[in-house]
Amino acid sequence: MRKSTGDYPEDWKELARQVKDEAGWKCIRCGHGHDPENGYTLTVHHLDIDPSNRRWWNLLALCQRCHLSIQGRVYLERPWVMAEHSEWFKPYVAGWYALRYLGEELSRDEVIARLPELLAVERECVLGVGA
């Protein structure tokens, strides 16, 4: 199992609440609302497993069930050129691609505006071909 690589920021509680507020207190993957009594506690997952990374694309509001599933299966370092990303995941991974392959720090709005281009970047960089 992968382990976190950094420390949580001092304002983690406020930051996590902000991420959950922006998601409407619903899991961005399955859409289930925060409902601890029925096993759907909303959490914030660090996509790159680094709690010190505050970039928007690294902070995913996920219910506990989806959090565990994603944490155990999604490794950003692994090339995804043969897989189609889920719709909910595309903006987050595109934000990662922008930084990793292009060295660009983009806002969520900038990523959304360039989504097809950014999703093609990994294929181009890994395979050396256009999408």
Domain ranges in the chain? 12-73, 90-127
Q: How far is CA 3 from CA 13, 32, 49, in A?
A: 20, 26, 7
For the stretch 65-101, what's the b/e string if a residue is b when 16 or more beta carbons lie within 10 angstroms of its beta carbon?
bbbeeebeebebeeebeeeeeeeebbbbbbbbbbebe
Place of tokens 């207190």: 25
Q: Do residues 97 and 106 lie in contact, with contact meaning Cβ atoms separated by under 8 Å? A: no
Per-residue pLDDT of the chain (131 residues; tens, 9 = 90+): 566 778 899 999 999 999 999 999 999 999 999 999 998 999 999 999 999 999 999 999 999 999 999 988 888 877 765 678 899 999 999 999 999 999 999 999 999 999 999 999 988 887 776 54
